[in-house]
Each structure stands twice: as structure tokens, then as C-alpha cells.
Amino acid sequence: MKKDFLKLTDLTRDEITGLLRRAIDLKAGKDASLCPLMGKNIGLFFEKPSTRTRVSFEAGIYQLGGNAICMTPAELQLGRGETMADTARTLSRYLHAIMMRTFSHETIEAFALNSSIPVINGLSDLRHPCQALADAMTLLETKGAVEGLKVAYVGDGNNVCNSLIEAASVLSFNLAIACPEGFEPHTEILEDARAAARSEIVILRDPREAAGMADAVYTDVWVSMGQEDTAEEKKRKFSEYQINARLLSCAKKDVIVLHCLPAHRGEEITDEVMDGPHSAVFDQAENRLHTQKALLELLLSPRQ
Ligand code: CP
Ligand code: NVA
């Protein structure tokens, strides 16, 4: 039966820890000559722009011996009214898997329901599970273990935050989220994660309290793709939620700074922090490549 990756919890804790170990091996060049995707076509579907997701998937698929086919709705008959269900039924006949970046999470779910191939969520308005895999790998390679760490997420309770919450629950790291009132993460995702977690996941208002003695401090843009009409309101409400040197001084001495990118320098993060000695943001971006290769292997060519 096909296996989808629409949310982090579609994989078990064991599958995720195995995937992270495999990604670290792939990064070290182990089995670099294996081509588990030889002869396979992987679709990459984008309703929104992308730098990291698009290029890391395309490069990774090539490195694994497969072929990537990029698509946008305007280029497909979707733009002329063909349904997502019929598109899914058709593309399943050509492709071995598809990665999708959509506005609505329901669009990906509808596609997955009507397709016979694995569907990977490459970001929806609700979740960004591929990002969470790279986040966890970055924590693992810099800190040696993920369990028991304290991660502070400062900013909008958005798709990236929702998937980080699911990662905290599955991988047992503590997560302190600081956000303004009205910008909390998704209620059900938070409740489910807390119910399953052995670690602590808390919502705070004070970024300094969240960052206190943190092993990692994470942020994302205040205004996500498709929410541009909220920009002015958010810039006002989030002005105290910037990762800057003062905030970082509350964290542990060896804190790492994470950002899924793209960053709006001078808004949610200063240049000084982004380019400073604690920043792991470009390792985190690189780790998208390694974790997604391990994910494709797991979904399409599981190792015995
Ligand atoms: N972090 C991330 O998903 O980046 P892109 O929007 O560039 O793909
Ligand atoms: N929250 C951001 C993440 C971009 C990778 C967005 O959805 O635009």
C-alpha cells in the first residue's frame, strides 16, 4: 500500500529516527552511488513560489537516479477547471510519487485520497513536515541528540510552527512557543501533540521567557505566503518578537539559531544574528536535501 507524508506524524518515531540517521549517512557520502529512484518519475507541484523545496527535491531526485517533473496549476488543465481528483487519478498513471506545495491543506488531502502514488506535503497553509525533518536533523547533528533539548520558537504560530510542534511530540524535545495573542498555532495540532508528548510544549507571550536557557531559538517570517494582506497589522503586533542579540543572550551559551528561510532580515531576525556564530540556518537549508532523499528512499525504495 502506498504511504503518504502529509504530516510528520504519518511516520512513526522509529521511522523518523531511522530516516534522520540515514540522512546523516547520505550527507557523509555513504552509498552515494546507489540509485534507488532509477527509472522513476517524481512530480513536483507548486501553487506557491519556492527556492529550497523546489531545488532540493529536484537535485535530490537526480542524485538518487530519478527524474523530476515540475508543474504549476496554470500549466495544467487544472487552470481550466479539471478537478484535483481527476488530475490525481491521471498523474498516478505516469508518476511514482508527487510532492505538492499548496495553499489549502485540503487540496493535498484531496489529491492523496484520489491517487495511488505516495504524496509528500512540500508545505501547505497548515503544515510543513519536510521542513520539520530538516529541523530535527540540524538539532541532531549539532547537539548529538534531540530528546530533552529545549527549543524556543518565537513568532507566528504558522505552518512551520505546527510541524515543529508535531516533531517535538514525536521526538520528545521541549518546545516553548512565544507569540502574540491571536497568533497561536493550530489548536487541534497542539492538543494532539501535547496528549502524545513525553516532553513539554508551552505557549508563552514573552519571547525572553521562551528563549531562557534554550538550546535552539527558531523563527519564521511574520507574514506567510498568501497572507500578504495582514502584513501591516503583523509588523505592529510582532515588533517585540524579533530574534536579536539581546534575545539570544537569554539562551544557552552554545545556542543555535534556526530559520526555515526565506528570512525577512530586519523583521523577525537581525543580520547580526542571522550571520552570527550561532546561526545554523544554512546547514538547516542544506539538510532539506539529505532528509528528503532519505524520505524518498523510505517511501519508494525501503531498505531491508
Ligand atoms: N523553507 C522553505 O520551504 O523554503 P522555500 O519556500 O524556498 O521552499
Ligand atoms: N511560513 C512560511 C514558510 C515559508 C517556507 C510560509 O508559509 O510562507
Ordered by start, the domain boundaries in the chain are: 8-127+288-300, 131-284
Cα(101) to centroid(ligand 1), Å:
10
C-alpha cell belonging to residue 278: 550561532
Same topology, domains 8-127+288-300 and 131-284? Answer is yes
> pLDDT (tens digit, 9 = 90+) per residue, 103-143?
999 999 999 999 999 999 999 999 999 999 999 999 999 99
- Please list the active-site residues: 101, 128, 131, 220, 260, 288
Residue with CA closest to ligand 1 atom 7? 51
Ramachandran angles phi, psi of 257, nearest 5°: -105, 130
Residue with CA closest to ligand 1 atom 6? 50
Name 182's Cβ contacts closer than 8 Å, sequence gap at least 6.
Answer: 237
| Residue-level pLDDT at 304 | 58
Give the burial string for 143-167 (b: 16+ CB within 10 Å, else e): beebeebbbbbbbbbbbbbbbbbbb
> pLDDT (tens digit, 9 = 90+) per residue, 224-235?
999 999 999 999
CA angle in degrees (0–180, nearest 5) for 290-295-301: 115
What class does CATH assign to 131-284?
Answer: alpha beta
**This prediction's pTM:** 0.98
Q: Does any ligand 1 atom lie closer than 6 A to the CB of residue 51?
A: yes
Give the relative orientation of helices 105-113 and 84-91 as an angle to the nearest 10 degrees.
Answer: 50
Ligand 1 atom closest to the Cα of residue 123 is 3
| Residue-level pLDDT at 301 | 82
Given a cut of 70, the residues of the chain with pLDDT beneath it are 303-304
Ligand 1 atom closest to the Cα of residue 48 is 6
Ligand 2 site residues, Cβ closer than 6 angstroms: 123, 158-160, 220-221, 224-225, 260
Residue with CA closest to ligand 1 atom 1? 260
Q: Which CATH architecture has domain 8-127+288-300?
A: 3-Layer(aba) Sandwich (3.40)
What is the C-alpha to C-alpha distance for residues 119 and 106, in angstroms, rounded to an integer?
13
| Residue-level pLDDT at 257 | 98
In the chain, beta strands by DSSP E: 41-46, 67-71, 97-101, 119-121, 150-154, 174-178, 201-204, 216-219, 256-259
Give the number of the ligand closest to the Cα of residue 158: 2
- Is the Cβ–Cβ distance between 242 and 265 less than 8 Å? no
Cα(32) to centroid(ligand 2), Å:
31
Residue with CA closest to ligand 2 atom 7? 224
